[in-house]
Chains A and B, each alone.
Chain A
Amino acid sequence: MDVSILAINLVNGLLWGIILGFAAVGLTLLWGVMKVVNLAQGEVILMGSYVAIILFAQYGLSPLIGGLVALLVGLAAGFLIYWALLHKLVGKVERITLKIEMSTLLAMFALSIALLNFYYYAFGSEPRGFGLWSIGVPFIRVLGTTIRTNILLADALALISVAVIYLFLDRTILGKSIRAVMQDAQAASLVGINPVKIKLLTTILGIGLTVFSGFMVLLFEASVTPEIAHKYAPLSFVVVVLGGLGSVVGSLVAGIIIGIIYGLSKVVVSIFNPRISDPVALSTAFIVLILILLFKPEGIFGRKR
């Protein structure tokens, strides 16, 4: 086996894994704290991509400003989604039953269909992106691999964001309240934590981060179509389950693991049959999901329940 091919795929797998991990952070928060299974994950990610694209293509704004606006739009979207959709379903509920989980799941599913079709209507099925824009030089060489600088920018932003959100949850009162609600909502309300406020905050954060990750997904993929939703949504679920529900760091680590497994299996399968290497590598990620559910259902960083 060619060493350079191994290096190329490992580096690319790692770079992709970081994006994948960050894209799942919002999902893990919503799911962990509020038991809201965001089936619109892929479409919410795309929201960030398309916000940045509109600002770039229609108004000629730098993608960096587009990324910032995407984050703000994401936070606003979180606010809207909470009050329009989730508050009635889970806002005042202390104990989340299976019935409530199902209704939030269906509500998010409806949102996903609505958003996806809106994207097709508004942007068509053609790929949209930043064209040839890049931050500084378009590429650099690292470890025998040529890497687009846009990917490095995306990874840097993702790592910084994960660090910030980790510190927020770990060090601030508000963050600690969120974790308290995640562990036991009833007990948290007994010690004076307002569950509605925490749920609103979690939704704003969860949706905001997911939308923001769309900007990084776009930087990584170079261009997006509405189809991208179907690539990232299922992988996000794998990452959340592998990393452990509600764990931000777990999500990042799991993303990196999936990315590297993906890269490695591509190399291994390529030796036997290059034609099938990509689909096999993708299915490997889901085989990991099944194995995790069978043998370590709480995930790497999850708490045993």
Chain B
Amino acid sequence: MKRYGVSKYVTAIAFLVIGLIVGAAIAMSSPGQVITTTVTQSKVVTVTKTITPAAPTTTQTTTQKPTGFAGTIYIGTTISLKGKFAHEGEYALNGFKVAIKWLNEVHGGIKVGDKVYKVELKYYDDESSSQRVPELYSKLITEDKVNFLLAPYSSGLTKAAAPVAEQNKIVMVSHGGASDSIFQQGYKYVVQTLSPASTYLRSVVDLIAEKDPNAKIALIYENAAFAATVAKGAKDEIQKKGLKLVYEKPYEKGATEFGSIINEAMAAGADVLLGGGHFADGTALVQQAWQLGWKLKGIGIIVAPALAQFKEQLKEAANGVMYPAQWEIGVKYSPEAAKKLGIEWFGPTNEEYIQMYKEVSGGGMPDYHAAEATAAILHLAKAIEVAGSLDSDAVRAAFNKVDIMTFFGRLKIDPATGLQVGHQMVVVQWQAGEKKIVYPPEAAQASPIYPAENWYKR
């Protein structure tokens, strides 16, 4: 507690100093200055524009005078800057910053009716602790008077924040809570930007259904809430697509040896392996499937293959393995793809996104945690613009109408529950030691290799 108090004062002083510097800079700059900006947006445009403070437009500028806005929309959240989600928290924070930078500087603020608002983020460090979350969200609502909320990272923390948002009737957008159960509680103000767990393997199943309608699938997954939800979703999709599920087996948490399970699946004649859980078990499962000579046409595993260590450990066995991802550098979602689907494009393009992320983070590259965070704010901003109001009920109703494409993919929610239904997991496949996005076609960089030659023809 004491440490937290100290860091609060330090932060306050830092803000004060930054405020003074910014204030001085604004005071010294003369009104009506000429600013030259270069903005990449599918093509390079050089904009030379004289800014008149009272008329913010969609044109892009690097500095926008606060006086140009009718007011400020405060978005509140907690971020895990300490504790077990510190790594993800850092990405999320940078992701938020990119969205806010884009909205304020490129988009020119959020348009609410005929007024334009600046966006500002207010956040506290939740230290990855679900105990801290309710208190901090109450504080954001009652003391900081934020207009809207973003959920914390992870399903667990999102579940801790949701009741507070719900009680205070404030819209909360989830960017890191994939669990379906969050949206089965009857909450009216919680909406989801990322794909829910039940859809994680859906894209992989769709891909297999397209390539190989006779596939014989084995579903082998960790017996834990998340992986079981993923497996359940996969099973539903397998049935929907009329594919054959020849073997299903949950394994205990922390399992490392899969000799019996793999042998049983081979005896059942399975030639596609789907499942996984965490990094250790997922890697071990694939490793032993390889070492036991299991001839597989397709392998779709959650979580483990996304990490670079997966390839380092499994070498040639990694090739052909597919995994679902919320987002990956290189996805091809574009304004053109949106046009093809007949929906609106919103936000930066993928190239612009990566460029802005580098600027904000001091040279870093975004990962999916960052992309989810950015997309959540864009999603919210669009809903506010559609609503033309800062009232949470109006914005929540507007969310039901929003169907857009962003650099993160399509965003559309289920009106009743707030569950994300528009966004599709992309399927990434290890091909010759490189990650390639192979599905869906509008996001793909390469064609899927199916059957996986190195696994099937050995």
Contacts and interface: CB of A to CB of B under 8 A. Distances in A.
Contact of A12 (B259, B266, B316): B259
Contacts of B280: 125-127, 223, 225, 227
B315 A132 contact: yes
A67 B187 CA distance: 57
A215 to B, nearest CB: 15
Interface in B165-179: none
A161 interface: no
A127 B287 CA distance: 11
A4 B267 contact: yes
Contact of B315 (A16, A129, A131, A223): A131
Interface residues of A, number: 40
A275 B260 contact: no
Interface string A120-148: 00000111010110100011000011111
A15 B252 CA distance: 19
Interface stretch (B193-201, B289-297, B376-384): B289-297
B264 A147 contact: no
B288 A222 contact: yes
Interface in A219-274: 220-225, 227-228, 231, 263, 266, 274
Contacts of B279: 126-127
B428 interface: no
B263 to A, nearest CB: 4
B283 A148 contact: no
A146 B266 CA distance: 9
Given A132-B290, A138-B291, A151 B259 contact: yes
B251 A278 contact: yes
B313 A129 contact: yes
Contacts of B288: 148, 222
B105 interface: no
Contacts of A169: none
A104 B387 CA distance: 70
Contact of B263 (A12, A129, A227): A12
B194 to A, nearest CB: 25
Contacts of B316: 132
A282 interface: yes
A227 B254 contact: yes
B256 A223 contact: yes
B257 interface: yes
**Which of B280, B283, B316 gathers the greatest number of chain A CB atoms within 10 Å?**
B280
A228 to B, nearest CB: 7
Contacts of B309: 126
B267 A278 contact: no
Nearest to B309: A126
A227 B256 CA distance: 10
A9 interface: yes
B163 interface: no
A257 to B, nearest CB: 18
B389 interface: no
A94 B326 CA distance: 66
Contact of A132 (B250, B257, B314): B314
B147 interface: no
A202 B294 CA distance: 44
A1 to B, nearest CB: 12
A53 to B, nearest CB: 11
Nearest to A125: B280
A4 B260 CA distance: 11
Nearest to B318: A132
Contacts of B270: none
A192 B416 CA distance: 85
Contact of B260 (A2, A9, A134, A221): A9
Contacts of A145: 263
A134 B250 CA distance: 27
Nearest to A221: B256
Contact of B313 (A125, A131, A263): A131
Interface string A1-24: 010110011001001100000000
Contact of A274 (B248, B284, B315): B248
Contacts of B263: 8, 12, 145-146
Interface in B270-314: 279-280, 283-284, 287-288, 290-294, 309, 313-314
A5 B267 contact: yes
Contacts of B294: 146
A148 B291 contact: yes
A278 B252 contact: yes
Interface string A137-165: 01100001111101100000000000000
A286 to B, nearest CB: 14
A134 B252 contact: no
A127 B256 contact: yes
B291 A132 contact: yes
A190 B379 CA distance: 84
Nearest to A127: B280
Interface string A195-233: 000000000000000000000000011111101100100
B400 interface: no
Contacts of A147: 259, 292
A192 B272 CA distance: 67
Nearest to B287: A222
A146 B293 contact: yes
Given A132-B314, A151-B259, 17 more contacts: A5-B264, A8-B260, A8-B263, A126-B279, A127-B313, A129-B313, A131-B315, A138-B291, A138-B293, A146-B263, A222-B284, A222-B287, A223-B287, A227-B254, A266-B260, A278-B250, A279-B223
14 contacts: A12-B259, A16-B257, A131-B315, A132-B290, A132-B315, A146-B292, A223-B283, A223-B284, A225-B280, A227-B280, A275-B223, A278-B250, A278-B255, A282-B252
Interface of B: 223, 248-252, 254-257, 259-260, 262-264, 266-267, 279-280, 283-284, 287-288, 290-294, 309, 313-317
Identify the 4 closest CB pairs spanning chains A and B, nearest first.
A278-B252, A127-B280, A8-B263, A12-B260
